[in-house]
Amino acid sequence: MIIGPKYKICKRLGSAIFEKCQTQKYTLAQDSAPAKGGRGGGKRPGNMSEFKRQLTEKQKMRFSYGISEKQLSRYVRESMEGTGDPAKKLVDRLESRLDNVVYRLGLAKTRRLARQMVSHGHITVDGRKLTIPSFEVTSGMAVSVREGSRISPLFASLKEQLATQTTPSWLMFDVSTLTGKKHAEPQSQGSSDYLFDPIQVLQFYSR
């Protein structure tokens, strides 16, 4: 998915949604940037409209998980069907994507790299190679690095990297076998856990 210059997107959305924007270099650049509306001219920032706020949150969610507009709109539609909290159902579906589970397990430093690992056939689910990043991992499924891929440079320093990795409570991981398992639904404590507000996203699509 082509998304454009990441620094500009982070600045426009006011959120470090990409790993590239979660660096000291980016923070220093933002701190030293001249403020708009001063003597140098420029537009004075006004109050954000409700539509723009919802659109911004939607873009944050989409870019965070690296999904297309079509995919997100489908996830939103599915989350609003049936019973239950649609905001939680939406976030749970996104968190249960195979590429995101690979990322959350610490097998990849970024979701983008996790998506590539899956697409290139390095990951198995319940012993079967899968190349679909959007595949939904359900409770009890085991996610592993494929046996033939463990000698790949991608995983050369993985065990050292995992020593400092904190696995979410809804996942379990065995470093010795490079296998993780989803044993519960993603535990969300609300929108503060994420860089976006799922309720605003739902409101955007309900317009």
pLDDT over 80 (residue 76): yes
Contact in structure between 99 and 136 (CB atoms under 8 Å): no
Q: Is the pTM of this model over 0.85?
A: no
Arithmetic mean of pLDDT, 163-178:
89
| pLDDT value, residue 160 | 81
CA dist 198 to 19, 64, 106, 194, Å? 20, 12, 24, 9
Q: Which residue has the higher pLDDT, 79 or 28?
A: 79
| pLDDT value, residue 2 | 44
Top-ranked range on mean pLDDT: pick from 4-13, 129-138, 174-183: 129-138
The conformation of residue 106, written as its DSSP 8-state character, comes to T
Output the CA angle 140-141-143, nearest 5 degrees: 135
**What's the whole-number average pLDDT of the chain?**
84
Per the rule left: phi > 0, alpha: psi between -120 and 50, beta: everything else, 126 is: left
What is the rounded CA–CA span in Å between residue 115 and residue 98? 8
| pLDDT value, residue 127 | 96
| pLDDT value, residue 195 | 82
Arithmetic mean of pLDDT, 87-103:
96
Q: Which residue has the higher pLDDT, 6 or 186?
A: 186
What is the rounded CA–CA span in Å between residue 80 and residue 88? 10
Domains and CATH numbers, the chain: 1-26+48-96+194-207 (1.10.1050.10), 99-182 (3.10.290.10)
Place 194 in a pLDDT band, splitting at 50, 70 and 90.
confident
Q: Hey, is 53 helix, strand or coil?
A: helix
pLDDT over 80 (residue 156): yes
Top-ranked range on mean pLDDT: pick from 16-20, 42-46, 184-188: 184-188
What are the backbone angles phi and psi of residue 115, rounded to the nearest 5°? -65, -40
pLDDT tens-digit series, residues 22-62: 555 555 555 565 555 444 444 444 577 999 999 999 999 99
Contact in structure between 73 and 66 (CB atoms under 8 Å): no
What is the rounded CA–CA span in Å between residue 44 and residue 8? 19
Lowest-confidence segment of 45-49, 100-104, 154-158 by average pLDDT: 45-49
| pLDDT value, residue 44 | 47
Arithmetic mean of pLDDT, 61-84:
95
pLDDT tens-digit series, residues 127-140: 999 999 999 999 99
